[in-house]
Structure 1
């Protein structure tokens, strides 16, 4: 499978992962400090959603890259591809 070549997409994904990493460190601190399991569970849920969202974004970026290479780089083709991928991202987002 190909890798993402768009630097903007890769930067966006890395930033999302770094935020999730920070959230995980925060959860570890919460455990060390003996905070309530309800608060910890809430933060774990937030991290899971962040990772799910990052996965969906990565998938859409990959699809955009690969389909764009096959469809061609025309304004009409980019517009149509963008519309389809926006719908796909919305659909994938609903499964979280």
Structure 2
């Protein structure tokens, strides 16, 4: 399977994962400090949502990259394709 070639997309995905990592560390700290289960569950739900949206972002980037490689689109087509993939990403983000 191909890797993500777009540096901007790769950086975006890595930044999202780093934020989720920070949230996970925060949850660990909350547990160590004896915070309430409801507060911890809320943070866990936020991390799950962050990971889900990162997965969708990575999948859309991969699809866009593969289609552009196969179709060899010009600049105007790339712009239209990017817009279409933004809409796809928005739709996929609403699944959960």
> Is residue 35 from structure 1 mapped to residue 35 from structure 2 by the alignment?
yes
Give the aligned CA root-mean-square deviation in angstroms. 1.0
1:6-85 residue pairs with structure 2 within 5 A? 6-85=6-85
Structure 1 consecutive aligned stretches of length 4 or more whose deviation exceeds 6 Å: none
Aligned residues: 96
* CA positional deviation for 1:79: 2.4
Unaligned runs of 5+ in 1: none
Kept after mapping to 2: 8 A contact 1:71/1:77: no
* CA positional deviation for 1:4: 0.5
Kept after mapping to 2: 8 A contact 1:57/1:89: yes
Q: Distance in 2 between matches of 1:35 and 1:79?
A: 47
Q: Distance in 1 between matches of 2:60 and 2:38?
A: 33
- Normalised to the residue count of structure 2, the TM-score between the two structures is 0.93
Q: Distance in 1 between matches of 2:77 and 2:47?
A: 35
- Normalised to the residue count of structure 1, the TM-score between the two structures is 0.93
Q: Distance in 2 between matches of 1:75 and 1:7?
A: 18
Q: Distance in 2 between matches of 1:10 and 1:41?
A: 29
Aligned partner of 2:94 in structure 1 is 94
